[in-house]
């Protein structure tokens, strides 16, 4: 017989027996089933006697249908093909390494199923339809994400992971890396996005883009929270609610509402307007001499002939002189009066007395 080689037609011996009987009767019927697919089928010629059972060989040996007498043509599975398990009349291709996730369409040739792609070693691996950025496509057709990435809820993407999220107005753009929208900024303590107030809020909380909420005792000023001093803080700085702080050379007044300057030497006829700086009062001018920088003297615009300016625009006459008239700043020599009418004596005569 032919050994281990598979025949397509399992009932070939039965066929030949029938064939011999029909041939003997002169019949020409073909009872073989129709093979719809011819893939992997090869035809060979073998001695007809090898196709007949030993008990039938004692009779007449059919001529056979081969090209030579005593030989018959039979169909077998070609090399690399084998008989289909569900049909004796079909051959299926053999893939020596198997064909997982695919169909073996020719000897050692796999055609991958939908959703799988072929590698160089003729094996089929799953593919993710839109790729698998930041991950690897697994046998399930889902992505296995790299460290720092998580699979999205729809199972299609590997998205970056930021522990605890990115806060208000933030988006996770990389492993533990947040990007903030306009009006938001990274909080260095939490590494998350929060409302951004340009310049900060001082003693307050940023509750919206450039919007501060102040603590009690503070008010919004120049987009930040600054302390309030309701009583005032003239020439000083309000450093805390109701706390006025003075600069060096200034002292807080008893009311706690203003900083007043300090002059080491008293200001005479002047006011202390800055640390160790005197400003003359109205009607007074600085006294001459560097040692008198804290002293001011009265000023008489028209001067004081024969007298001294003792107050703003007010003269005191020197001894022997009197005011020319009431309200005048001109001093004239005093004239002695007697029973004589000196007013009738010519002045040149009086000067000779």
Cβ contacts of 306 within 8 Å, gap of 6 or more: 317, 318, 321, 330, 331, 332, 333
Query: Each residue of 191-223: pLDDT tens digit?
Result: 889 888 888 888 888 888 888 999 999 998 888
Query: Each residue of 257-295: pLDDT tens digit?
Result: 999 999 988 999 999 999 999 999 999 999 887 777 889
CB 129 within 8 A of CB 117: no
**How far is the C-alpha of 86 from the C-alpha of 46, rounded, in Å?**
26
User: What local confidence, expressed as pLDDT, does residue 25 receive?
Assistant: 35
Mean pLDDT of the residues in the chain: 81
> Taking 80 as the threshold, does the pLDDT of residue 141 lie above it?
no
CB 223 within 8 A of CB 195: no
DSSP code per residue over 283-348: TEEEPSSGGGTTBEEE--TT--TTEEEEETTEEEEPTTEEESSTT---EEE-----SS-GGGS-HH
User: What local confidence, expressed as pLDDT, does residue 319 receive?
Assistant: 92
Please name the helix (run of DSSP H) or strand (run of DSSP E) that holds residue 240, with its range, or none: strand 237-240
Phi/psi of residue 14, each to 5°? Answer: -60, -40
CB 41 within 8 A of CB 87: no
Nearest to 148 by CA among 166, 174, 167, 170: 174
Neighbours of 352 (CB within 10 A): 7
Higher-pLDDT residue of 12, 344: 344
Q: Provide the pLDDT confidence category of residue 88 given band limits of 50, 70 and 90.
A: confident
> Taking 60 as the threshold, does the pLDDT of residue 256 lie above it?
yes
Cβ contacts of 254 within 8 Å, gap of 6 or more: none
Query: Each residue of 56-86: pLDDT tens digit?
Result: 888 788 888 888 888 999 989 999 999 988 8
Question: How many CA atoms does the CB half-sphere of 159 hold within 13 Å?
Answer: 14
Query: Each residue of 152-191: pLDDT tens digit?
Result: 887 778 899 999 999 888 999 999 999 999 889 888 888 8
Across 7-16, 35-44, 328-337, the highest mean pLDDT is recorded for 328-337
Q: How far is CA 54 from the centre of its chain?
A: 89
User: What local confidence, expressed as pLDDT, does residue 27 receive?
Assistant: 31
User: What local confidence, expressed as pLDDT, does residue 346 receive?
Assistant: 52
> Quick one: DSSP state of residue 31?
-
pTM exceeds cut of 0.85: no
User: What local confidence, expressed as pLDDT, does residue 235 receive?
Assistant: 92
Buried b (16+ CB within 10 A) or exposed e, 55-94: ebeeeebbebebeeeebbebbbbeebbebeeeebbbbbbb
> Quick one: DSSP state of residue 245?
E
**How far is the C-alpha of 166 from the C-alpha of 89, rounded, in Å?**
66
């Amino acid at each position: 017989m032919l050994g281990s080689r598979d025949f397509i037609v399992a009932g070939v011996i039965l066929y030949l027996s029938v064939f011999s009987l029909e041939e003997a009767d002169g019949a020409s019927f073909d009872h073989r089933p129709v093979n719809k697919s011819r893939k992997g089928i090869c035809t060979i010629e073998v001695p007809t006697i090898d196709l007949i059972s030993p008990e039938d060989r004692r009779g007449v040996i059919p001529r056979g249908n081969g090209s030579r007498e005593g030989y018959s043509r039979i169909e077998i599975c070609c090399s690399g093909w084998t008989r289909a398990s569900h049909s004796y009349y079909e051959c299926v291709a053999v893939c020596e390494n198997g064909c997982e996730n695919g169909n073996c369409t020719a000897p050692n040739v796999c055609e991958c199923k939908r959703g799988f792609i072929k590698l160089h070693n003729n094996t089929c691996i799953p593919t993710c339809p839109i790729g698998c950025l930041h991950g690897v496509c697994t046998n399930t057709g889902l992505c296995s994400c790299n460290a720092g990435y998580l699979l999205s809820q729809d199972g299609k993407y590997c998205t970056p992971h930021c522990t605890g999220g990115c806060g208000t107005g933030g988006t996770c753009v990389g492993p533990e890396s947040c990007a903030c929208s306009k009006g938001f900024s990274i909080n260095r303590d939490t590494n998350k996005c929060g409302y951004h107030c340009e310049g900060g809020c001082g003693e307050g909380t940023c509750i919206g883009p450039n919007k501060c909420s102040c603590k009690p005792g503070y008010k919004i000023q120049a987009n930040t929270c600054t302390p309030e001093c309701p009583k005032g803080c003239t020439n000083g700085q309000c450093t805390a609610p109701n706390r006025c702080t003075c600069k060096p050379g200034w002292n807080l007044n008893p009311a706690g509402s203003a900083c007043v300057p300090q002059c080491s030497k008293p200001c005479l006829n002047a006011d202390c307007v800055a640390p160790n700086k005197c400003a003359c009062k109205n009607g007074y001018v600085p006294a001459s001499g560097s040692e008198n920088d804290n002293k001011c003297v009265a000023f008489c615009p028209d001067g004081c002939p024969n007298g001294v300016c003792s107050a703003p625009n007010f003269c005191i006459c020197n001894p022997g002189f009197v005011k020319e008239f009431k309200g005048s700043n001109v001093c004239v020599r005093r004239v002695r009066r007697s029973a004589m009418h000196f007013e009738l004596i010519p002045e040149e005569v009086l000067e000779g007395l």
